[in-house]
A and B are shown apart, each in its own frame.
Chain A
């Protein structure tokens, strides 16, 4: 076991927290040392009967309203406002102005109640001991923007709405493995078929926003797109709908009956879309025309320069997103039954462990961070990533050209006349693809240079992003086809739990022609031990054991060089100096909108 902390020790720590001998903070930090994400660690505590921390409120305004207009800039504006149809984060962020979930994820990965009266725990009886049910108590006295009361019927309805395949809701993934029952008007019970350690998925966070039953009931199923409320949201949120131009503007005005006291602070909100990331950063940091700008995929150097004007600040929030290099397990250059990189083949060169180890030694992550991404991409040895202080110490990173060359030499890869190593007539030559994106091309160059020194020839390939990231079955250049030796992109964790995230290395998930390359295992790595560990984690009722198993999955993937993690991609936003806004990498950018205010 690559894990330095054993189960017994975890149990002892949990007992200590429970008894009050160890603070939550220290516990979380220790968990971090073994590579456990913050949300995972807090769920561990919840299961063991320790309530989640409610972060102390820093909200200062003492009355509702009076803050004027809040202007926020999304360089891709929301195109729809029904959270169940929200394809990208832009749509979720826009919907969150009006709609709310039962609870949201704060930056530390704690659940914060929104429409729930409290967060379920073992102590308050919300969590069943067998992990097969959760009871949510709803906040009472909450009304929809049209004055109708919010009740358990609305919550149950959202589950029915999302799980009806004819509705074509993109939130179906969060609801399909759960059954929802109404206990009374303000209590709902979630039932799972099997023990579910990560229970905070349905009705929580980005995909958990709740829409009103009385307005959507006639439009469940195939008629879903005809609902007039799709374009004129009626929610429970801090702002009421005013106007919507898809892709351009979403505007709202203060909800005078909002269910949290003294909130919201602003009298109106305007979310503007369009343009590009750099000018969005400018509008906040340099000219102060806007108060907040989203998803600033801009080189850190540019951001720092703009920040010097002093009108705003760049805020970086940890997330699970990881830019990584994948090594193909199958042979992308031989066609079998009409598909390349077929599961029936083995990569002729990358199947040699020495070559994989050498490649891992040749990725100079330090330089990638220093010269390309800066604050927006810290180097990391792990695939499962968390806030900095929660990072596993099991795996050590090293950049060492000499060591790589030595490894290859020992494995029998000798330099030929052209300086490229070869063995049994096979040359150490790889094609390395990624999407067209300046930082990625720079990273490719850094890898190529180091490989050249070690005697590996890398041919660089760059594919237009719209092709690379498409699901086009007929196009061989998409990333799920992976018709080359190495490829690089960012994969998003989405949910604050690595369980679902780590299924992308399971044998049965392999992306093949048979499943139209919709399988999630892109590297097509198949490993019995991994499958066994993953299955165990799925069926493991004990959250402590499950955590240890999931840590093991990360270690297996990284130590077998299935992928080479490069840098983490945290959430990067800009805000005006006076604006107080909490940004979480585990939830929407607007998750805490009701608490945003401007310092006097």
Chain B
């Protein structure tokens, strides 16, 4: 069995799966249930000046009969009294001393407020702090959350305040509601944050009720921009994560990966692109804490199969495989191939290619089953047919290099090689 214990800035947890700062971590009863289920750690729901929440608070995007492909919330930070939260944090740490307890913070925008809050939280024995610079709804209108994370200067200033006071590791959580997370990431690393976490939720409108004409989520006939998360945001999170892992300044600190992590596979992908651990929320909100069982087992089995003994053996391993477009090998070419024994004659590859790609699939009429085959000379190797095919491994991409040697776009231009090659 592989060793999946995680050490994040000296904060130890039996596995790299933490629950993100969110409704599942806003009180003792939930957190204890999470620890009982096996979660390695939690980031306690953001503490700050007490707020008031509304109902409803969530909405979702369903797709193809599957519920919650994307999830949206308009809940603010903790609406419970600070002293109760602090008391419960102490109790949770005492009952599960081997789990990571991080507390998310969003103090009012002055040094004194931050210092007071940090002091109170550190007194609980928590292992780390996470600065919520990412919440995109409600709090931003008060100049907090994403409003801080979107401005590198303000973010830097707040981190400097925090670092003056904090004695335990500080993680700064970044907002994706920016064109790039790197400027704020750099600013807060320079200001001394010990680590980063990303992404927070993405501002969104999930839909409009076609009877009432009111967008979701519904609050007395009105709605508000919410924070989008869940499986739909994973690709965006992975991209932002990679940019942090590739930047010379930000790559110096560990990163906790967040954004649509639902399975062990998602977690591995985040870690391969530079995350030291991951945080989960939506998947747990959809299925309950039990999902961690398969995450632990799946990660273990995958590591065993790949021969990785510890998490450090593979963290960041895929970062170098994302390059600039100019570095891609232009001589690489592959062509789709349809396995006729596996083909079920649904025609999905054909119509996708014919209508929207390169007319590279031949249709031979049959009753009722047509036969589809690739016109090799027309195929540009775009993958579309393989992506739409409902049968596993029916369409494969076969390598047909244009030439044996690597050549990138810059060199290609330099040599004046032809553009009209198909």
**Co-complex (A, B):** no
Q: Which residues of B contact A (CB under 8 A)?
A: none
Q: Which residues of A contact B (CB under 8 A)?
A: none
